[in-house]
Structure 1
Amino acid sequence: MQVPFFNFKRRIGSQLESLWHSIEEVVDSGEFILKKQVAGLEQDICDYTGAKHCIAMASATGCMTLALDAAGIGPGDEVITPAFSYVSTASVIANLGAKPVFVDVDPESYLATPEAIKAAITEKTRAIIGVHLFNALVDMPALAELCRQKHIFLLEDSATTLGGRYGALNAGLAGDAGVYSFFPAKPLGGVGDGGVVVTDNDELATRCRMLRNHGQDGIHRFTHHLLGYNSRMDDINADFIRKGLPTLDSNNEQRRQIEHLYREELHGLDGYLSFQRADRFQTVPYALVLQVKGRDKLKQYLADKGVATKIYYPQPLPLQPAFAYLGHGQGDFPVAETIAMHSLSLPIYPELSAQEVIYVCQQIRAFYAAEY
């Protein structure tokens, strides 16, 4: 059996007619960028999440960059972010001239805890990025209270967690601003890159809207009030995403069911693998990242059996070459380094069948039975 890590053909194939219709509608209208469908998507996300403002952009990385820029983050500022994460949660800080301050993560949740973040705050700390990762939500309510006390800007990297919740509050709305990603593999994937900023802050929303389109205010064209960016979403992608939103909750629930099936089928392998701990919040299992014994051998064994896996992430951010200028070395972030050495991500997406999940688990069991 062949089990791809992500089956774009299976997902897009089920929506192909909708995609062609989206293309036809936008071409007929002649409105391709930041027009009717983008505005419609922004309103749809506001309606779904309860956010006051939603600003669509070309990518979630762009969203984080512009949100920090709109908050005035720049040279001389420190921004706290996890040592184990996707690169954008640190690169956006550095690209604005600020300093990424990395904190080690919890060994079971893979997240930066409020306690670790609090300990890293200095008089130069201007912002914190609370990063949700894989199948766990960081304790944003606790971080929000900390930031209120310290008067620090809080950006919620909720790129993969549209549909996650802290009780009645949607993930993405606990900080001063949050972001969602519409990269094709995300829970609400598009047919290209894209993302949105959500916020209840009127001034921040206005600045984000201006920054995404070269600093223009949307009223007087070619008058540039700010030095901005080109981070605009196109309408074909926006229309496609809008048509997928009604199935988001059911798809997220399917992800949860698949994650539960993995847990059932791999039960009893505690000495060989462990699942990421997800606490009391309602999560969105975007990726299924396990800590596994004999990671590289297992990865190759599964590949030989037709099962595609990925390593999220092979190296903590402070040890990446791009951040060498910060002077970190081996041993500075022991938990993140250990997680990076043992992490392996298994396929998980709504279109994955129970038979495929069981096959993957059978192969994992066969590997450990033969190796150990």
Structure 2
Amino acid sequence: MTLIDQSYGTPADAHPALPLPAPPALPYPPPVPTDEERALLLDAFHEVATDPDQTFVLGRRTAELERRLRGRAQVADVIACGSGTGGLILALRALGVGPGDEVIVPAFGAEPLGSSVLAVGAIPVFADVEPDTMVLDVADTERRITPRTRAIVPAHTFQSMADMPALVELAARRRLALVEDAAIAMGASLHGRPAGSWADLGLYSFFPVKPFGMAGEGAVLLSDDPELSRTVRLLRDHGQDGVRRGIHHEQGIDSRFDEVQAAYQLARLGSLDGRLARRRAVVDHYDEALAPLRSGGLVVPDQGPDTSPCLYVYAVQTEYRDELAAHLAAHGVGTRVYYPLPLNRLPQFAPYAEHGPARPGADQASARHLALPLHQHMTLAQARRVTDAIRSFFAGPGRS
């Protein structure tokens, strides 16, 4: 996929005597929805609001979205739910995880990795991550397994997928449940197998900034196990089976999918591959342009030949993280630090923080990662602007 090459102007130092205006800023957050996306959302509101059926959650549009996503993910079933966090809770509940159980999660990642475990009464155990890819360290995960361990929840992080083949083998050998947090990874794959399809249950999030983000909260769980699928469907709707209202087969939660959002996602599903391809073009440029800086201390994960990377966030690592962020800001490029502290160092997880040995990979990732702009509206010129500024930083004194 070739990006549109729109120049952002002549470099200011090309003609130092001329008072050239500064190039337009390239903020980190993606642009607001396009006029086309707004129109699709308004159409979705009108369609659902005027439908004689007057079903606003878990209706035929949700069912159709689930059906169409099954083929993309290469799984037997897709179950839509209210949010990514709710999806993790549903997955753990469906797998029978409860009070007294331990669940191993990465120490570097989003807060719901830990809070969803607490929500089902279980104990989060924070395992270290690989220093370069920032995904769950399989060897450290195995070291933290105890007789109380019930499940492992690896999370794909930034552009890297966790080592799912190794984790599938570990979970099978130790007889543990496996939940694949692929919230960010729609469109990624490993050995030709889509992210989200490797575990007992997988998860995609539709939070607005995700690759298939929408205008609100929502997610889907993926499974090849009919019994797990049935249980998730019960749990997401207060334990009801979708046939007879008011008959609650077990205690569930409210994690139902909105029909307006389903209509919106259905309208956009046909253009998803194009949006992913535009993100992939930016990622490919970053990979190629920044690879020579690896010898100078910039960590850019090498995905390998049989991996299609996650297309949500592109993050590099460097010991000069704060200086690089300031340099990029001076060049009009926004950046973001996602997780300034590992999960085991957050106050709410303090009671579980010292569970096992140190986690140097997570500490390093929190101290060194920096996310670069990445969205489907970026041009090739904008991507070049980012990498040109990074190269100029590493060409400075003491950093070459």
Q: Which residue of 2 aligns with 1:346?
A: 372
Distance 1:335 1:51 in 2: 33
What amino acid does structure 2 have at the position aligned with 1:4? P
Note the C-alpha offset of 1:83. 1.0
* Aligned counterparts, 1:1-372, within 5 A: 1-9=24-32, 11-29=33-51, 30-270=54-294, 271-279=296-304, 280-328=306-354, 332-370=358-396, 372=398
What amino acid does structure 2 have at the position aligned with 1:95? A
Structure 1, residues 261-289: CA drift from partner, whole Å, max 9, x if none?
A: 12333343332422123243222221111
Note the C-alpha offset of 1:110. 1.0
Residue pair 2:144, 2:356 contacting (<8 A) in 1 also = no
Bigger CA drift: 55-64 or 139-148?
139-148
Residue pair 1:214, 1:229 contacting (<8 A) in 2 also = yes
Structure 1, residues 295-337: CA drift from partner, whole Å, max 9, x if none?
A: 2222233223322111021111111111011243998211110
Count residues in correspondence. 371
Computing the radius of gyration from Cα coordinates, the structure with the larger value is 2
Distance 1:331 1:204 in 2: 34
Residue pair 1:190, 1:238 contacting (<8 A) in 2 also = no
3-state SS of the aligned residue for 1:210?
helix
Structure 1, residues 146-205: CA drift from partner, whole Å, max 9, x if none?
A: 222222111000111112223342211111000100011111111111001111111111
3-state SS of the aligned residue for 1:15?
helix
Structure 1, residues 90-132: CA drift from partner, whole Å, max 9, x if none?
A: 2111121111111111111111133222222211111011211
Distance 1:123 1:331 in 2: 17
Aligned-residue Cα RMSD (Å) equals 1.9
Residue pair 1:331, 1:337 contacting (<8 A) in 2 also = no
What amino acid does structure 2 have at the position aligned with 1:345? A
Residue pair 2:291, 2:300 contacting (<8 A) in 1 also = no
3-state SS of the aligned residue for 1:356?
helix
Unaligned runs of 5+ in 1: none
Bigger CA drift: 138-147 or 210-219?
138-147
Note the C-alpha offset of 1:75. 0.9
What amino acid does structure 1 have at the position aligned with 2:329? A
Q: Which residue of 1 aligns with 2:7?
A: none
Note the C-alpha offset of 1:33. 1.2
Cα 1:330/1:170, change in 2 over 3 Å = closer
Bigger CA drift: 30-39 or 295-304?
295-304
What amino acid does structure 2 have at the position aligned with 1:13? D
What amino acid does structure 2 have at the position aligned with 1:3? L
Bigger CA drift: 292-301 or 183-192?
292-301
Distance 2:353 2:224 in 1: 37
Distance 1:74 1:296 in 2: 41
3-state SS of the aligned residue for 2:146?
coil
Distance 2:355 2:99 in 1: 24
Distance 2:258 2:44 in 1: 12
Distance 1:207 1:360 in 2: 46
What amino acid does structure 2 have at the position aligned with 1:273? L
What amino acid does structure 2 have at the position aligned with 1:277? D
With structure 1 as the length reference, what TM-score do the two structures score?
A: 0.94
What amino acid does structure 1 have at the position aligned with 2:314? L
Note the C-alpha offset of 1:370. 4.8
Unaligned runs of 5+ in 2: 1-23
Note the C-alpha offset of 1:62. 0.5
With structure 2 as the length reference, what TM-score do the two structures score?
A: 0.88
